[in-house]
Structure 1
Amino acid sequence: MIFFDCSTAPNPRRARMVLAEKGLTPEVREISIAKGEQLSAEFRAINPHGMVPALELDDGTLLTENLGIAAYVEALQPEPPLLGCDAREKGLVMMWNAIVEQQGGLPIAEALRNSHPAFENRAVPGPLDCPQIPALAERGRARAEAFFGLLEARLQQVPYLAGESFSFADITAFVFVDFARVIKMPVPQSHEATLNWQARIAARPSAAL
């Protein structure tokens, strides 16, 4: 396998953590978003969507979405399970992963891409040029703040998002919560359950990659 990574971006980090949790070490090729390498002709010949992560399988199949990569890796290496052990858990993992992506990851990205000078005319990932909309940055920050409240409420009830076990949903949330530093929004100090959860995941070897 060949893993197309970007060490500074959140979505490749999610896939990187999944691979590490499973003990898999594919060949890694770094694609620098800062240098625009994801939009180069060379990389778009591999992934026409111009985005990372991407995982090229031994038969040439290309997986370009985190859910696809996680599903493939889970089937390839079932232990330790990251997508749930039974029907109930599997549903909860997928549900919370979707909640985190839509109510956490998207607003944080919206706030960053619509305010940072590096993303001028690049407010949307991929090959399409889109102008920044400052109002979306403000909305993103407001939604991110609401997301932190949602996360705290859930983690006051259970140790991990899907229940008792660490899962892909926790990887997604941990990466996005950590990435919120780019919009200067750390976890509020009053959110003790979230801070405890964050520290437990940060102690895992995969979180250091």
Structure 2
Amino acid sequence: MIFYDCSTAPNPRRARMFIAEKGLQIETRDISIAKGEQLSEAFRSINPRATIPVLVTDDGLTLTENLGIAAYLEALHPDPPLMGRTPAEKGQVLMWHAIVEAQGGLPIGEALRNSHPAFAHRAIPGPENYAQLPELAERGRARTKKFFDLLEARLQQSAYVALDHLTLADIAAFVFVDFARVIKMRIPESSTATHAWHDRIAERPSARL
């Protein structure tokens, strides 16, 4: 297998952490978003959508989304379970993963891509150019604040986001919380449960990759 990564971007980090938590060693190639390498002809021959991460399997299948990559690796390597074992657990993990992506990942991305000069005319990932909309940046920051509130409410009830142990949902939430620094937003000091959760995950080797 070959894993196409980018050391500075949040979505590849999610896949990188998942791979590490599985204890897998996969050949990795770093694609620099800062240099625009994802838009190169060579990379777009692998993923025409020009997004990262990408996993190319041993049998030549190309997987270009975190959820697809995680599901594939989980099926091949079910231990440790990061996407649930029972039907109820699997449903909870996917539900919370979807909530985290929609309520955390999307608004943080909108705030960054619609405000930072580096993303002028690149407000949406992929091969097409889209103009920045300042209103989306403002809305993204407001929604990110709500995400921190949502996360704290959940973690006041549960030690981890979906189940009683680390799952795909925690990996996504952890990466998005860390990445919120790019829009100058951090876990509120009053969010004690979120800080405790974040500290636990930050101690794991996968979080240091």
CA distance in 2, matches of 1:153, 1:163: 15
Q: By how many angstroms is 1:163 displaced?
A: 2.5
What SS does the aligned partner of 2:4 have?
strand
Instruction: Provide the C-alpha distance between the structure 1 equivalents of 2:62 and 2:21, rounded to a whole number of angstroms.
Output: 21
Aligned to 1:169: 169
**Distance in 2 (alpha carbons) for counterparts of 1:97 and 1:163:** 11
Q: Tell me by how many angstroms 1:49 deviates.
A: 0.5
**Residue 49 in structure 1 maps to residue 52 in structure 2:** no
Identify unmatched segments of 5+ residues in structure 2.
none
1:39-72 deviation digits (Å, cap 9, x = unpaired): 0000000110000000001111100000000001
Distance 1:133 1:198 in 2: 31
Rounded to whole Å, the distance in 1 between the matches of 2:101 and 2:156 is 20
Matched, 1:142 2:147: no
TM-score, length basis structure 1: 0.99
Aligned length, in residue pairs: 209
Helix, strand or coil for the counterpart of 2:29? strand
Deviations 1:51-97 (A, max 9, x none): 00000011111000000000011011110000012111111100000
- Aligned pairs for 1:1-209 within 5 A: 1-209=1-209
- The alpha carbon displacement at 1:117 in A equals 0.2
Structure 1: state its 5+ residue gaps: none
Q: What's the secondary structure of 2:51's corresponding residue?
A: coil
Cα distance in structure 2, aligned partners of 1:104 and 1:22: 24
For 1:162 and 1:36, the matched residues in 2 are separated by 35
Counterpart code for 2:22: K
- Which residue identity lines up with residue 49 of structure 1 in the other structure? R
SS at match of 1:4: strand
Aligned alpha-carbon RMSD (Å): 0.5
- For 2:193 and 2:41, the matched residues in 1 are separated by 45
Amino acid paired to 1:18: F
Deviations 1:120-141 (A, max 9, x none): 0000000110000001000000
Cα deviation digits, residues 128-179 of structure 1 (max 9, x gap): 1000000100000000000100000000000001121110000000000000
Give the Cα–Cα distance (whole angstroms) in 2 for the partners of residues 11 and 48 of structure 1: 17
* CA distance in structure 2 between the aligned counterparts of 1:168 and 1:204, rounded to whole angstroms: 14
Task: Report percent identity of matched pairs.
Answer: 68
**1:91-119: CA deviation from partner (whole Å, max 9, x where unpaired):** 11000000000000000000000000000
CA distance in 2, matches of 1:160, 1:16: 20
Which runs of at least 4 in structure 1 moved beyond 3 Å after TM superposition?
A: none
**AA paired with 1:43?**
F
Give the deviation of 1:3 after TM superposition: 0.3
